[in-house]
Amino acid sequence: MVGVPSAVIGDFPYMKMWLKSLTFRAGWCNVQAYMRPLLDLIAAGRLSPRRSSATGLKLDQAEEAYRIFDAREATKIVLTP
């Protein structure tokens, strides 16, 4: 599992996993190792993460941005100074 779940994982089905011999793994992302290759992919045009974010809000509109984000009206919001 990657990323921090936004919902609390309650009642983790350990017994079910045990019965099915499932493996569960989780961990920090190795960001430092991936930044350069990902920047290369973006520069090559194979990734365009910008498209999943809204922009145009200023830093002092952060409160409004958090409201929008909390209401799931935007996936990501980029704040500019």
Partner 1 sequence: MNQGAVLGHEFVGVVEDAGSRSSDSSRGDRVVSSFFTSCGVCTLCRKGWFQPVRGQVDLRPRRVFREPGWCQAEYVVVPLADHSMELIPNGMSDEQAIFVGDILATGFLRRRTGRDQARGRGRVVGAGPVGLMATMAAQALRAVSRVRRRHGRLAARRWPWTSAASQSTPSTFTRSRRSRVRPAGSAPTRASSAWVFFRGRHGDRERPRRRHHLDGRRSERGDR
Positions touching partner 1 (CB under 8 A) are 2-3, 6, 23, 25, 27-39, 41-43, 45-55, 59, 62, 66, 72-76, 78-79, 81
Find the shortest distance in angstroms from Cβ 57 to partner 1.
11
Can you tell me which residue has the tokens 């011999």?
A: 21
Q: What is the DSSP letter of 6?
A: S
Q: Could you tell me the maximum CA-CA distance found in the chain, to the nearest angstrom?
A: 53
CB closer to partner 1 out of 67 and 76? 76
In degrees, to the nearest 5, what angle opens at C-alpha 24 toward C-alphas 21 and 25?
145
Q: Quote the least distance from Cβ 12 to partner 1, whole Å.
A: 15
